[in-house]
Every structure is written in structure tokens, then in C-alpha cells.
Structure 1
Amino acid sequence: MAFDDAKHPLLSGLRDPPHQPEQKIGAKKRYRRCKSAPATDILLKKNHAASSPASETIVGKVHPAFIQVIVLLAVYLGIGTTCFCLVKNQIKGKKTNGILDAVYFCIVTMTTVGYGDLVPNSVTTKLLACAFVFTGMALVGLILSKSADYLVEKQEMLLVKALHIHQHVGMTDIMKEIETKRVRYKFLMVTVLLVLLIIVGTVFLSTIEGLNLVDSFYCVCSTITTLGYGDKSFSSEGGRIFAIFWILTSTICVAQFFLYLAELNTEHRQQALVKFVLTRRMTTLDLEAADLDDDGVVSSAEFIIYKLKEMGKISQEDITLVMEEFEDLDVDQSGTLSVSDLTLAQSPPHGSKV
């Protein structure tokens, strides 16, 4: 699969490579695997530490981002509950308890479920509802981007261990499997959680709210998809206590489900593209496009860069930025980097004060 800009050199600043001694005919040049980059090595160590047995459950060490979301949610519900308690007489609908109804109204508003069982009935309450729906949606987005993803990742280790319960699998193998199948495991975890939430919600509505199974399932589906027709809702005091926790959890879980589904589809398409690029026959046009320095032959580095660009792993802009950094570090203009190059590049200019 050739790109439109494939015929243009990928590395505009590529210099002629230094002369290499001739190899014996028939000798096959071997390349060692590249050592892990320091930054990558640090990240892997952090991931390993985060997935250690001491913190592989939610009860373990809590991530700062998760704490931030909890604090923001508490502040939102605290302010919202106070405001709607003060104007509770200006909200019409079936009421149970002042504080409980205020918290319930906040949750229904921020998740955009909007049953209609509690409705603003004055200018003040309508303006408050408008303010809290936007801030609530922003908070839900923050929860999706930080805490929800974090909670799913915390359980990946347990899932992989459960799948290999009868096998002797080391921590390194588990980490590798999580890394290569991360999106798949996230999707599986969210799917299981979503099914459990649907079952729990249906059973609760059937037993506590007195709805039949069809109406209970119908109410669950209209809630978690934020459709919220309003003909069926949580009307009892116990039902609204349950709804405060269940609605927030289930609506966020559905959003994560479709997010991971989209990521899984994207990953499958990317894998299909990689397979196509690696299995298709190389043509003379590909050889010409991969020859970055126009010397008539394609080196291993040129071949790797060309294939990575075909796979969509890198772009022309990425290559240009990396080459600019290389040229800045290559002080002696030799086309290679050495310790002296790094020392000269990082030393302050002559005559300047440190």
C-alpha cells in the first residue's frame, strides 16, 4: 500500500552514511534487539509496581487522580444538595425526603437521565438545573477519563490470574499479556460489570419498586442509556437511595463499554493493516520509496522506517521532528552521535554565565 508522499524522501536531512567495511560474501548481517529506552523502562517499572499484589485491588493504594475525582464529586453533590434543599418547595413531583430527593435530583441531572419525576418549577430552580447539568456532564467526563479507566485497570491483574489459575504464570508473563491484550481485557471487564449492574437493577426494581420483570428491565435500559422516559422511575425512599449509587455507576459503565468497543474495533483494524503491510509482496516502487538517501539500495533502517510509515505507526512530521533533534545533538556533523556530541550539545554556549 503506497502513500501519496511515498516517493518523497522521509528524512530530508539524511546524510550519506559513513563508509562501512565490506562483509564477506554470503555472510548474513545480524541485528540484536534494541535495548529498552530509559523512559519506557521507567514506565514498565511503574506499571509493575502499580500491579503488585499489594495494590491489585481497589482497596490498595489509591491513585491521586481517583482521589481528585472523589473530592470533586463530593463537592458537586454537597453544593447541589444544599442548593436544591433550599429550593425544594420550588421543585414539583413525587417527594420522599428533602435531602435524599436533593441528592437524587443531582444524580439524575448530572447523568442526563432526567426522568421527570422531580421537575424545576421556578426561575431559580430552572437556572440552577441548567448550571448543574453542564458542570455535572463535565464531571462525568472527568470520571470517564480518569477514575473509571483506573478502576478497570486495577482489576486486569486479577482477571489474567483467574484465566491462568491452573498454570504457573510469572509476573512478567502476566504483565506482557496485559500489555498486548489491554483493550480486550478492559472491554471484557466492563461488559461483565455492565451485565451485573443490569441484573442488580432489574431485580431491585422488581422487588422494591414492585414493577414486573419487563417494566423493571425497561426502566433499567432507559436509565443506563440516559433515555429516561419518566414513565417508570425510582419513586420510593429506598429506591432513591439505591438509585444515587446505581445510576451514576451504570451510566458511566455504559459509556466506558462503548468507548472500549470503539477502541477494540480500531485495534482490530490496525492489526489488519499491519498484517496486510507485512504479508504483501514488495515491489520496485516500494523499494524506490523506501530508499531514503537515493543510493540505489535499502538499508535495514530505511526498510523499518518505510514499513512503520505504511502501518500508520509514524508520520512524516514525526520523522522530521526526530531528525531535527538528531541534527541538534550531532554537533560535529559526523552523521553519528557520541558521548562528546552529547556533552557539547548540553554544555552552555561559550562566554555565557551558568
Structure 2
Amino acid sequence: MAPLSVAVLAASAEADHHNPPPPPRRPVIVLRAFLFLLAYLALGVTFYAAFPANFTSSNGPTHPIVDALYFCIVTLCTIGYGDITPASPAAKLFAISFVLIGFGFVDVPLSGMVSYVLDLQEHLLITAIKNPRSARKHRHNYIFDIKKGRMRVRMKVTLALGVVAICVGVGTTLLRKVESMGWLDVVYLAVMSVTMVGYGEHVFKTLHGRLFASPWLLVSTLAVARAFLYLAEMRIDKRHRAMANWVLSRDMTVSEFLAADIDNNGYVT
């Protein structure tokens, strides 16, 4: 029985070696956060639609539900064009609580998606380790660094900036049609909106413009925030590599080697 058990264990280990673990599933918290975000926006829309007299619109109303959704997303993304503003103490208190609490609903799905991407990177690394053929096949992968087990920082920055450029391009093209502005004005409005500046001299005035702006602003501002985070990560990674190269290339004295032997066993590991 013992040899049979050993054979079974060996076969199981061999199967695990050639069969990598399944890819990670999208975390449930992300789905829940998106559902909570939708419910939170619905709550804000309900309050706005129930008390429209508490808000003023410099360009006039288009549709109560569309204006409410547009106001909630502009507030949640901290753009603040100023075309729709609270006009009563109750509306101001609502805006304060809405933007402060809403930060969490935006951050949770974003953090969850980042964790999901990291799990995918880990899965790729484990697959490469357990399958040498796969490792040789992906040794020239320009997106993932197999040795480090993560996506290349420069590629992450490039992808994030590419998403931002796509958001600006889509916004410019559609704003040209729905808001009937010149090319310079639509590019100006798109860039100022995506970067969360929102001066307010150019805003979304039409019904179709506000319908488009609601999801576009939410996606674009998150993409810009992620791009800035990756840029900071790239600079930190560059400094770490420079520091590591300096430490590894400098000459060490005998006393420094002895100080590095923290185990006092005559070896530095």
C-alpha cells in the first residue's frame, strides 16, 4: 500500500505541476461596490428630482432626471462646473454629505479592480513557474515582467495614458455633435473636464450633452487618477532601481562586510 500511496502522491504532484491554478475571479466586492454606487446615485437623483426648487441652473433645465444625474456625477467627481448649484441650506447639506460619502463608493471599485489585476499578474507568474514552456514562450512579453511577477511599470503608464487619450478623443468627437461648439472649445471642455478642473465657462447645456457627460465624466476622471498613480509608481520604481544599482556597484570595506553578517556565521546572504 505504501508504494501505491507514493505513486498516487507523485501523480498528483505531477498533475499540479502541469495544470496551473485557474485564473482569479473578479472580486465580489467590486460588483457590490458598483451596485452601491448605482444605488447611491439613485438616492441623489431622487433627492434632486423631489426638490428641484432647491437647485438653480444657469443654463435652464433640460430634464429633471438627466439634470439630477448630471449634477450628482459632477459633484461626485469634484469637477464643479457651477452651472447647477444648491440654492438652499438643505441642498447644501445634501451636497456636502453626498460628495464626502461618495468618495468611498468610487474608491472601492477602483481598488478592487487593481487587486483583480494584481491577482491576474500573480496567476501568470505561477503559470510560468509551473510550466517552463509557457515561461519560454512569454520571455519576451512586453506587458508582464515574468521575472518580477508584475506588469511593467512603463507599460502600465502607457496603457493608462492611452485610456485617457481615448476618453478625451471620444469626448471631443461627441461634444462637437451634441453641444455644437467649435473644435477648440470642445477640446478645451474635454480636457478641463477629464482633469477635473472645470472652470465653468463651457459646460454641458443640452439634454444629449448631459446624458453623454454623466458616464463619460465618471470613467474619464477615474482613468486620469489611475494614470497619475502609475506615473508616481514609475518615478518611485526608477529611484529604487537607481539606489539598488548604486548599492550593488559600490566598493565595500571589510568592516562593512562584517557588519552585514548579521547572523555571525561568516557568510553574507
Q: 1:293 to 1:69 in 2, by over 3 A?
A: closer
Match of 1:165 in 2: none
TM-score with structure 2 length normalisation?
A: 0.78
Say if 2:35 is the partner of 1:67.
Answer: no
Unaligned runs of 5+ in 1: 1-40, 51-60, 157-167, 305-354
Q: CA deviation at 1:89?
A: 2.0
How far apart, CA to CA, are the structure 2 residues paired with 1:146 and 1:153?
10
**1:146 paired to 2:120:** no
How far apart are the structure 2 equivalents of 1:172 and 1:107? 42
Change (3 A) 1:178 1:224: farther
1:189 maps to 159
Provide the identity percentage.
Answer: 33
1:160-217, Cα deviation, whole Å (9 max, x unpaired)? xxxxxxxx96676556268244433322221111110011111112221111111111
Amino acid at match of 2:253: T
TM-score by length of 1: 0.60
Change (3 A) 1:246 1:150: farther
For 1:273 and 1:67, locate their aligned partners in 2 and report how far apart those are by CA, in whole Å.
Answer: 40
Question: Which residue of structure 1 lines up, in the alignment, with residue 56 of structure 2?
Answer: 92
Distance 1:181 1:62, change over 3 A: closer
- 2:189 touches 2:203 (CA, 8 Å); kept in 1? yes
Once the 2 structures are TM-superposed, how far is the Cα of residue 140 of structure 1 from its aligned partner? 2.4
> Which runs of at least 4 in structure 1 moved beyond 4 Å after TM superposition?
150-156, 168-175
Q: Give 1:260's match in structure 2, choosing from 225, 230, 239.
A: 230
Question: Is the aligned partner of 1:49 residue 2:20?
Answer: no
CA RMSD of aligned residues (A): 2.7
1:36-185 → structure 2 map (5 Å cutoff): 49-50=23-24, 62-93=26-57, 94-147=60-113, 149=114, 173=139, 176=146, 179-185=149-155
CA distance in 2, matches of 1:212, 1:177: 50
Larger of the two Rg values belongs to structure: 1
State the Cα deviation string for residues 120-162 of structure 1 (Å, max 9, x = none).
1111111111110111223223233223x35766998xxxxxx
2:253 & 2:240 partners in 1: Cα distance? 22
Give the alignment of 1:283-322 within 5 angstroms. 283-294=253-264, 298-299=266-267, 303-304=268-269
Contact preservation (8 Å) 1:193, 1:253:
yes
Q: Which runs of 5+ in 2 are unaligned?
A: 1-15, 122-132
Distance 2:176 2:148 in 1: 39
Supply the AA of the counterpart residue of 2:212: F
In the alignment, the residues of structure 1 paired with residue 147 and residue 212 of structure 2 have an alpha-carbon distance, to the nearest angstrom, of 37
Give 1 or 2: higher helix fraction.
Answer: 2
Q: Secondary structure at the match of 1:119?
A: strand
- Counterpart-to-counterpart distance in 2, 1:154 and 1:218: 38
